[in-house]
């Protein structure tokens, strides 16, 4: 019997771990496996880099970590501060030995994108970020750049996640979504510069007013300031059926002088009634001030089939974002 093409479900990810396609030196916690994705855990050491890089075809990441590129090494075992505007590289605990018909992609986790931590996956021989080629055998590395808030991270911190596919990507359908600036109360939030350190493993521990400013929309419009980071919500509810996964993608870059959605995976079961929910948009303005308006097009959801049924849908074991509206990351107490 031929296996179905599509995104691997949680049951297949567990099977991949048993078959050593996915391995680590420490056990896999149950909540590390999402309905159609796998959280990746930081290892023991991060390297402060002079600049981002790609190893290139035929080159190993570790072989590139010489004195010209690496400024110093940082021990993560007891936790360490990763500072705003700096580039770091950390090997994650998971490593892959994929069969030739399995390939993958990576994204920041939702909570990572919502605090403006830019993270990308790098593998040996990579000529592109966030791509795991079919049949890849080797380690995985997370490039980490906190853009607004300095963060406290440690061994085991989960900043990114991987999704594995059998066969080529096979989009099933696409749905455009827009920005909602008609909400009562704040229509969005703008990140404050020069806030304190944010421990990314603490949940509900921070007063959002120490890190964020609420935004009103006069006349249904907001001005995005260059270099600032914002959180908005989609006008449309998002529903991911049990047999599909979805990824955020831009419609066309020429639609606006801003970038939306750093984190882009939606697992099956997100938004299924009675837990209707919106997409949260992580927005950074570019080089010039730019007006955004209510119902402005900002992106699309690209749906893909799963290769098999899931054991547990998104939110069935608890989630910070099921049924969400305009919502900051799980690190913050509710806005009051």
- The pair phi, psi for residue 21, each rounded to 5°, is -65, -35
Domain 6-166 has CATH 3.20.10.10: no
pTM score above 0.85: yes
- The β-bridge partners of 191 are 212
Question: Can you tell me the distance from the alpha carbon of 180 to that of 228, in angstroms, rounded to the nearest whole number?
Answer: 19
What's the topology of domain 173-305? Deoxyuridine 5'-Triphosphate Nucleotidohydrolase; Chain A (2.70.40)
Residue at token pair 């305009």:
326
- CATH 2.70.40.10 placement within the chain: 6-166, 173-305
Question: Can you tell me the distance from the alpha carbon of 329 to that of 148, in angstroms, rounded to the nearest whole number?
Answer: 14
Question: Can you tell me the distance from the alpha carbon of 169 to that of 182, in angstroms, rounded to the nearest whole number?
Answer: 36
Question: Can you tell me the distance from the alpha carbon of 280 to that of 234, in angstroms, rounded to the nearest whole number?
Answer: 6
Residue at token pair 């490593």:
95
Query: pLDDT tens per residue, the chain (336 residues)?
Result: 357 899 999 999 999 999 999 999 999 999 999 999 999 999 999 999 999 999 999 999 999 999 999 999 999 999 999 999 999 999 999 999 999 999 999 999 999 999 999 999 999 999 999 999 999 999 999 999 999 999 999 999 999 999 999 988 777 789 888 999 999 989 999 999 899 999 999 999 999 999 999 999 988 999 999 989 999 999 999 999 999 999 987 655 555 656 766 567 899 999 998 889 999 999 888 788 989 999 988 888 899 999 999 999 998 867 889 889 999 999 999 998
């Amino acid at each position: 019997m031929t296996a179905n093409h599509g995104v691997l479900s949680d049951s297949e990810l567990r099977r991949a771990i048993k078959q050593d396609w996915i391995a680590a030196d420490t056990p896999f916690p149950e909540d590390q496996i999402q309905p159609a994705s796998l959280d990746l855990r930081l290892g023991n050491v991060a390297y402060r880099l002079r600049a981002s890089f790609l190893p290139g075809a035929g080159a190993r990441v570790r072989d590139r970590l010489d004195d010209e590129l690496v400024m110093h090494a940082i021990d993560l075992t007891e936790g360490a501060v990763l500072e705003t505007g700096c580039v770091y590289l950390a090997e994650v605990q998971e490593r892959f030995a994929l069969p030739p018909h399995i390939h993958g992609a990576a994204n920041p986790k939702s909570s990572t994108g919502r605090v403006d931590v830019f993270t990308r996956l790098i593998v040996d021989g990579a000529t592109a970020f966030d791509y795991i080629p079919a049949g890849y055998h080797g380690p995985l590395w997370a490039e980490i750049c906190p853009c607004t808030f300095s963060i406290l991270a440690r061994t085991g911190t989960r900043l990114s996640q991987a999704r594995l596919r059998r066969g080529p990507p096979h989009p099933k359908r696409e749905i455009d979504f827009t920005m909602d600036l008609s909400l009562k109360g704040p229509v969005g939030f703008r990140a404050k510069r020069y806030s304190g350190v944010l421990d990314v493993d603490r949940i509900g521990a921070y007063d959002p007013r120490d890190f964020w400013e609420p935004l009103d929309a006069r006349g249904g419009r907001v001005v995005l300031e260059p270099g600032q980071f914002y959180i908005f919500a989609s006008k449309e509810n998002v529903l991911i059926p049990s047999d599909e996964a979805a990824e955020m993608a831009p419609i066309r870059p020429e639609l606006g002088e801003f970038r939306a959605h750093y984190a882009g995976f939606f697992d099956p079961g997100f938004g299924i009634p009675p837990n209707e929910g919106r997409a949260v948009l992580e927005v950074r303005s570019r080089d010039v001030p730019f007006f955004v308006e209510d119902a402005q097009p900002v992106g699309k959801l690209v749906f893909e089939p799963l290769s098999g049924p899931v054991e547990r849908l998104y939110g069935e074991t608890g989630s910070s974002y099921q049924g969400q509206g305009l919502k900051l990351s799980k690190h913050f107490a509710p806005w009051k």
